[in-house]
Amino acid sequence: MVVNRKAIRLLLLGSLLVLSACSNNNTAGKNKKETSVVTQNIKTDELKANIGKDDWVIVDTRANDAFNGWALDGVKRGGHIKDAVDFSADWLKVKVDKQDEKLTEVLKSKGITTDKNVVLYDANGKDAQNVVEYLQDKGFKNMYKYDVKEWAENQDLALEAYPNYEMLVPSSWVNDLINNKNYGNPYKIFEVSWGDEAKDYKNGHIPGAVHINTDEVEEGPVWNRLKDKELEKFALRNGITKDTTVVLYGADSMPAFRTAVILKYMGVTDVRVLNGGFTSWKNGSYQVEKKVNTKKSVTAFGTVIPANSEYIIDLPEAKAIQANKNNGTLVDIRSWEEYTGKISGYDYIEAKGRPAGSVWGHAGSDSSKLEDFRNIDNTMRSGSEILSMWEKDGINMDKELAFYCGTGWRAAEVLFYADVLGVNNITLYDGGWNEWSMDTSNPVEKGEPNKK
């Protein structure tokens, strides 16, 4: 009996150990399933077959520049797969208020929802995985990964790039430019911000960059660009000729875009802006310089200024567009509150309202922001989203589009984006609402338009 009892005890103990081991194994398996995401890789043919289907969404998880058209990370051709939406892994690293809330909103707006099969592609084997992990936390289940290099290698498979994507450059391109010295061709890098003190510049800048104060290209109280003769002096002082490759950037990109548009108007043929501003340079872990670089002047610009006069227009031309709506549209790049005349948006502009007949073209939450045109990392928003937004606003891209805002900063950035997207017949109405409202004989509207 004693032996039997002992045997039963041993048997029970053994069973317990086996059970607990099994149960531990199961738990470990469960945990593993929860922490590491198991996603299948999708083949090119399979992906091709599912493009355009309502229950499939193709997501480009690479840097915004790769989506725009740059061949990065060893990809043979740049651009994105047709119908793909962008959701860059870089956005997950951005530190902003309510980041998760904003990203959730972005997912929704791009149609990336849990009920769909989601294909996430990259070229470095990391971006797609990072987004997969993020989406898994959001409850996504049917996810597939794809290496876009395979797609890019096959010349028969289309990749879409913006017609002028080169105008907006990635930080790696700027770094290459510095290293290869633009292959002996003249180039200049400028940090653009307001003020002589240039705090942003002194805190650290791209090696070799020189500071441009926006007051070097515009003057008050209208804040239009300077007279052509003065602009020529500005170019010569900064060593810019029509053939210089000019790269502009800033902690906030808006002043850089403003200056870029003026340089294009003057006739500089190769003007580039760093996509995402100085943050993108810092995120690339490239060298940062603190030395103050002096301006090196040149003696001749190389052409008569303005060589590209249609790029910026003034009040008479804006009035002509306003008077003949069949040929052109004044596109208002201000907040809805500014457009409808609830606020002027500026301490130095008293009048509220808009030029009569102008169409709202979106902007941002206040007079210094452009959330409707920028991603969370301040890179350019997807072109198809910008164009469909304008389509909904009733903006006809076949007409001449004259973008304006308060004093020409926000509108300059949007004009540059429209140029990147290849929209033809576009211009900046420099004086904007500030100039328009100064002459009380100019027709003005307030409130919501008849057709929003």
Partner 1 sequence: MNGVWTRPILLKKVNQIRNNDMFKGETIRRMVLSFSSEKGDDLMIKAMKTFFLYPLLTLLQFSGIILAIVLENLSAEKMGVARYLIFKKQQFESTYFTPQLILIYTIILGIGAIICTLLLLTKGKSRGKIIMLLVAVAANIIGIIFIQFSADLMAYHFFIIGMVIVIVVQYVWIMKFFKQESKST
| Catalytic one of 174, 405, 415, 421 | 405
Find the binder of partner 1 among 194, 236, 302, 308 (CB under 8 A).
194
Find the binder of partner 1 among 36, 348, 365, 446 (CB under 8 A).
348
Q: If binding is defined by CB under 8 A, does position 436 make contact with partner 1?
A: no
Residues in the chain, overall count: 452
Residues 320-339 interacting with partner 1 (rule: CB under 8 A): none
Nearer CB in complex with partner 1: 134/201: 201
CA-CA distance, 47 to 49, in Å (whole number)?
A: 5
Least separation in angstroms between CB 348 and partner 1: 4
| Amino acid present at 151 | W
CA-CA distance, 440 to 80, in Å (whole number)?
A: 48
CA-CA distance, 410 to 393, in Å (whole number)?
A: 18
Residue range at the interface with partner 1 (CB under 8 A); choices 140-148, 260-268, 305-313, 344-352: 344-352
Q: If binding is defined by CB under 8 A, does position 439 make contact with partner 1?
A: no
Least separation in angstroms between CB 294 and partner 1: 21
| Amino acid present at 141 | K
The number of C-alpha atoms within 13 Å of 452 and in the hemisphere containing its C-beta is 7
Buried b (16+ CB within 10 A) or exposed e, 207-244: eebbbbbbebbbeeebbbbbeeeebbebbbebbbbbeb
Maximal C-alpha separation, the chain: 114
Q: If binding is defined by CB under 8 A, does position 105 make contact with partner 1?
A: no
Q: If binding is defined by CB under 8 A, does position 14 make contact with partner 1?
A: no
Q: If binding is defined by CB under 8 A, does position 29 make contact with partner 1?
A: no
Q: Is 387 exposed, middle or buried (0-12, 13-18, 19+ CB in 10 A)?
A: middle
Least separation in angstroms between CB 436 and partner 1: 16
Least separation in angstroms between CB 395 and partner 1: 29
Residue 110: which of 68, 59, 62 has the closest Cα? 59
# residues near partner 1 by CB under 8 A: 13
Q: If binding is defined by CB under 8 A, does position 221 make contact with partner 1?
A: yes
Q: If binding is defined by CB under 8 A, does position 310 make contact with partner 1?
A: no
Stated as kind and residue range, the H or E segment containing 212 is: strand 210-213
Nearer CB in complex with partner 1: 104/368: 368
CA-CA distance, 139 to 163, in Å (whole number)?
A: 37
Q: Is 147 exposed, middle or buried (0-12, 13-18, 19+ CB in 10 A)?
A: middle
Q: If binding is defined by CB under 8 A, does position 201 make contact with partner 1?
A: no
Find the binder of partner 1 among 54, 137, 156, 347 (CB under 8 A).
347
Q: If binding is defined by CB under 8 A, does position 346 make contact with partner 1?
A: yes
How many other C-beta atoms lie within 10 A of the C-beta of residue 316? 7
Find the binder of partner 1 among 144, 165, 223, 433 (CB under 8 A).
223
Q: If binding is defined by CB under 8 A, does position 289 make contact with partner 1?
A: no
Residue range at the interface with partner 1 (CB under 8 A); choices 19-27, 113-121, 125-133, 196-204: 196-204
CA-CA distance, 416 to 168, in Å (whole number)?
A: 9
Residue range at the interface with partner 1 (CB under 8 A); choices 3-11, 193-201, 381-389, 393-401: 193-201
- Give φ, ψ of 147 to 5 degrees: -95, 110
- Give φ, ψ of 136 to 5 degrees: -60, -40
CA-CA distance, 410 to 254, in Å (whole number)?
A: 7
Reply yes or no on whether 22 is catalytic. no
Place of tokens 């653009």: 192
Residue range at the interface with partner 1 (CB under 8 A); choices 67-75, 140-148, 190-198, 234-242: 190-198
Residue 430: which of 262, 308, 266 has the closest Cα? 262
Find the binder of partner 1 among 111, 195, 422, 443 (CB under 8 A).
195
Q: If binding is defined by CB under 8 A, does position 278 make contact with partner 1?
A: no
Catalytic residues: 405
Binding site for partner 1 (CB under 8 A): 194-197, 199, 214, 220-221, 223, 346-349
